[in-house]
């Protein structure tokens, strides 16, 4: 495993929150992707919302997004752990172990952003995202 990062979900104010955290921790916002930048169809109300955002302020590396029509924000589901991998075999093994007795919300699959990615909630209710950057 390459890294373990907190992933925060917001109720429409991710960008504002990350600007606040940047002011607190310093660093730089390294990625901003909006739902409207995606090839997937999204409601007009979500086009300017944050699909993915990252703040790098060593040693802090935070990731986050706004809730979406499929993943509404409910108190208690606003934190997800993101696991970054360098190879898909290890990603598969850990995904399958975490999924035992849990619920897969997105199976591991190649994405438009160049990663193999999946999401699940384990049997204890903890939310996980597993990401492996694919070679170009």
Domain boundaries defined on the chain: 3-133
What's the mean pLDDT in 12-21?
Answer: 90
**Tokens matching residue 33:** 């992707």
pLDDT of residue 76 exceeding 80 = no
Classified by CATH at the fold level, domain 3-133 comes out as 2,3-Dihydroxybiphenyl 1,2-Dioxygenase; domain 1 (3.10.180)
First to last CA, the chain: 20
25-44 confidence digits (pLDDT tens)? 789 999 999 999 999 898 99
Average pLDDT, the chain: 89
Strands 60-66 vs 3-10: parallel, antiparallel or unpaired: parallel
Put simply, whether the predicted model's pTM sits higher than 0.95 gets the answer: no
């Amino acid at each position: 495993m390459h890294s373990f990062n907190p992933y925060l979900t917001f109720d429409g104010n991710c960008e504002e929150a990350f600007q606040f955290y940047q002011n607190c921790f310093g660093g730089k916002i390294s990625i901003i992707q909006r739902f409207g930048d995606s090839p997937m169809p999204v409601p007009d109300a979500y086009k300017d919302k944050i699909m993915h955002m990252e703040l790098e302020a060593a040693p802090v590396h935070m990731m986050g997004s706004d809730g979406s029509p499929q993943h509404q924000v409910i108190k208690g589901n606003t934190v997800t752990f993101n696991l970054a991998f360098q190879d898909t075999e290890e990603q598969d093994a850990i995904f399958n172990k975490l999924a035992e007795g849990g619920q897969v919300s997105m199976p591991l699959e190649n994405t438009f952003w160049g990663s193999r990615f999946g999401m699940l909630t384990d049997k204890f209710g903890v939310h996980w995202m597993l990401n492996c950057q694919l070679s170009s």
